Structure 1
Amino acid sequence: MKIKQINRINSVLIFVLLILGSMYIGASFLIPFTFAIFLATLILPVTNFLEQKFKIARITSSFIGTLIIFIGAGLIFYLLIHQIGVLLNDLVDRRNQILLFVQVIQENLATAFDISLDQQKKMAQDNLLSGINFLQSYLTNILSNIIGIILNFLLILIYLFLLLLNRGKFTDFMMMYTADEKKKETAEILEETEKVANYYLWGRIKVMTILAIMYLILFSAYGLEHMVLLVVFGAIITIIPYIGPFFSGFLPVVFMIIFDHSYMEVISFAVIILIVQLIESYVLEPLIIGSEVKQNPLFIIIGVLLGGMVWGMAGLILFVPLFSILKIIFDNTQELKPVGFLMGYESSGEKEGIIEKIQKKFKKNID
């Protein structure tokens, strides 16, 4: 009996390793295709609405849905590139202020660590050449990455259009390989998977929008420069759990320090940023995204780390919703229900917390 259990565990581990290896090897194909699948679930209600309400042909509604994604993502990408250009021009104009800031840091280092300015200058000269070489390679990588992102984005749009156009065939394909007694269960799993993916993505967009509004109000109140760049970047980066919110709050504080704000302003600003982050993580996400896609925090961290190892930056974004879909499959498969239970998040205690109560009232008012 023990030998059978060990063999079964070994088979599962080998299967998981094969899946991860295949995902790593086929990343160039799977990453844009997976992005296209999630974007298709995001825009699917719009295309269905166009077809049902205005009797538009599927090919036309699919093109309109793809065009909406193209315009939305294109505007965000253009805004980021434009604001980065504005920031670089501003840094060139402020070179004297930056040099003064560096001088203050050097004086503080000389006082704190007993390193003279001449020693610091010599160290800087010794590392200057290697720094220039690193900067050149870094800029080259950025340029190639931007070109790669544009090409992948165009590929995603092609996949997206074809997925929307042929969406009925994929369901029929799954049903052809499903036994008659399992077809109803399979249809429910597919429907729930589509619903949760759509709910997660739209909920994430709503959270990012509200966070952007709070950032905009806060940055305007403090007169923070380049706030458009920080708002857009800060809202988008939060799609990566744990890592994203850290950079979302850290960069504005750095800008406050660099652009010559007082210590009291920086401290109060950092405290308010922390409060905004807590509101986003513990109020907005439970209320808007809800418990339907709630996962065990341990598996969220595992998904982020594993995604980064297998698919890089794309994995940081995609693996968390992929884990949510896997949880649905596990919850509806008798042999895998324990795994689904392990991946889920169960509140400790029988009494509802304040967030759960607000969440129920919030959903009731919407319904």
Structure 2
Amino acid sequence: MNSKTIAYGILRAVAIIVGVLILLWFLYKIQSVLIYIAFASVISLMGRPLVSFLKRKLKFNNTVAVVCTLFITILLFLSIFTLFVPIVVEQGQLIGEIDVNSISDDLDQLNQEISDYFNIDKLSFVELVKKTDLMQFLDLKAVPNTINSFLSGFGSVLIGVFSVLFISFFLLKDSLLLENSLLVFAKKEDENKFMRAFTKIKDLLSRYFVGLLLQVFILFVLYTILLLVFDVNNAIAVALIAAIFNLIPYIGPLFGGIFVLILATTSNLGFDFPTVILPKLAYILIGYMIIQLIDNFLNQPLIFGTSVKSHPLEIFLAILIFGLLFGIGGLIVAVPSYTAIKVIAKEFLSEYKIVKTLTKDL
């Protein structure tokens, strides 16, 4: 090997490294656009069954079906948004009416009742809240500044929403748009494999996201009934938040349960702990656990088993690995990412025994 060949190899390696770094820098700079595309892709996957229904059953043309689907999507998100607006406005009005001494007395009473009932020392977290002077920490004077900051960023939010809807429209209108865009990176002889893989991934993920939407809706209804029965303040909004928490596998229901119990406790500050607060919390916790059992043994097997055609153990390990690698975000994207990897592996690595075993149901 002569010096020219060595120099050429070094220059080629340097050029590749520089090219990769430039590509990564470019992707970092356009990360907001990539996020828009990701959200639009999810909306298009969830909307595909509705578009197909409108075209097949109601004989809508493609464009009208897509517009109706996006209109329904907008109405859904607006409904969720308007659900929270009155609550935020109400809480904002109540901030100025908060009696710090009354809250301190209620917390002190609750703390003393819990201590007496369980025969333990006063809970340190209540003392910590009181010692830190929570209301001063919140600095109510900063609320207007926070609102102004929110309003100043409202324009960016509108741009993001418009971008997501615009991209979603074309992804729904032309179901092959994304595939054709990605085919530029495929070799000519591999194009058929890429198309088969993309089509299968779209079908599986479309069923998966629709299943998740159904799961959240079922949990929302059950949580709402539970919280209304026990007269928890803002039961509908709290139920929706708890249901959305379930999108995070395993730890989401835990956070949702803690959130529900905290709201149930604050809804009853000032009442007697042994006779009112504790029994109500116990009933709510039992109801919440029953709902989680329904979700774990009915909803999730149906979604994971039928939609993505994976064994529950596979799903558990995939979620665990993605969670360790990427944190909470990894937990959320674990199932769709693992599904896409399985489909691609089946098309391009089907000669390996492990791939055949894992993808035999696809």
TM-score normalised by structure 1 residue count: 0.70
Cα shift at 1:185: 3.5
Residue 285 (structure 1) aligns with = 300
**In the alignment, does 2:313 pair up with 1:298?**
no
Cα shift at 1:227: 0.3
Superposed CA offset, 1:157-193 (max 9, x none): 1110122233334445556765676454333322211
TM-score normalised by structure 2 residue count: 0.71
Q: CA 1:280 to 1:54, structure 2 compared with 1: closer, same or farther past 3 Å?
A: closer
CA contact 1:192–1:328 (8 Å) conserved in 2: yes
Tell me the distance in 1 between the aligned counterparts of 2:25 and 2:110: 47
CA contact 1:304–1:320 (8 Å) conserved in 2: no
The match for 1:104 among 109, 127, 134 is 109
Q: Which one has the largest radius of gyration?
A: 2
Tell me the distance in 2 between the aligned counterparts of 1:247 and 1:31: 25
Q: CA 1:322 to 1:282, structure 2 compared with 1: closer, same or farther past 3 Å?
A: same
Residue 272 (structure 1) aligns with = 287
Tell me the distance in 2 between the aligned counterparts of 1:118 and 1:63: 55
Q: SS in structure 1 opposite 2:139?
A: helix
RMSD (CA atoms): 4.3
The match for 1:238 among 238, 246, 254 is 246
Q: Percent identity?
A: 21
User: Which structure 2 residues correspond to residues 136-285 of structure 1 after superposition, within 5 A?
Assistant: 148-172=156-180, 182-260=190-268, 261-285=276-300
Residue 69 (structure 1) aligns with = 73
**In the alignment, does 2:64 pair up with 1:60?**
yes
Cα shift at 1:78: 1.8
Superposed CA offset, 1:288-309 (max 9, x none): 4425424432321443465558
Q: CA 1:133 to 1:218, structure 2 compared with 1: closer, same or farther past 3 Å?
A: closer
Cα shift at 1:267: 1.9
CA contact 2:112–2:122 (8 Å) conserved in 1: no
Residue 132 (structure 1) aligns with = 139
Structure 1: 5+ residue runs without aligned partners?
1-13, 347-367
CA contact 1:193–1:328 (8 Å) conserved in 2: yes
Residue 6 (structure 1) aligns with = none
CA contact 1:66–1:161 (8 Å) conserved in 2: yes
Q: CA 1:109 to 1:61, structure 2 compared with 1: closer, same or farther past 3 Å?
A: closer
Residue 58 of structure 1 aligns with an amino acid whose one-letter code is: N
Tell me the distance in 1 between the aligned counterparts of 2:141 and 2:293: 37
Q: CA 1:288 to 1:103, structure 2 compared with 1: closer, same or farther past 3 Å?
A: same
CA contact 1:241–1:300 (8 Å) conserved in 2: yes
Structure 2: 5+ residue runs without aligned partners?
1-16, 269-275
Superposed CA offset, 1:95-150 (max 9, x none): 475343234367689994799x99997x546x876552996587677666766544
Residue 78 (structure 1) aligns with = 82
Tell me the distance in 1 between the aligned counterparts of 2:353 and 2:91: 51
Superposed CA offset, 1:291-346 (max 9, x none): 5424432321443465558xx6xx7644542332233212332179688689x699
CA contact 2:44–2:172 (8 Å) conserved in 1: yes
Tell me the distance in 1 between the aligned counterparts of 2:325 and 2:287: 32
Tell me the distance in 1 between the aligned counterparts of 2:37 and 2:27: 12
Residue 101 of structure 1 aligns with an amino acid whose one-letter code is: D
Tell me the distance in 2 between the aligned counterparts of 1:273 and 1:320: 25
Aligned residues: 323
Tell me the distance in 1 between the aligned counterparts of 2:178 and 2:201: 14
Residue 107 of structure 2 aligns with an amino acid whose one-letter code is: V
CA contact 1:303–1:320 (8 Å) conserved in 2: no
Residue 12 (structure 2) aligns with = none
Tell me the distance in 2 between the aligned counterparts of 1:284 and 1:247: 19
Residue 257 of structure 1 aligns with an amino acid whose one-letter code is: T
Cα shift at 1:265: 1.8
Tell me the distance in 1 between the aligned counterparts of 2:123 and 2:300: 48
Cα shift at 1:41: 1.4
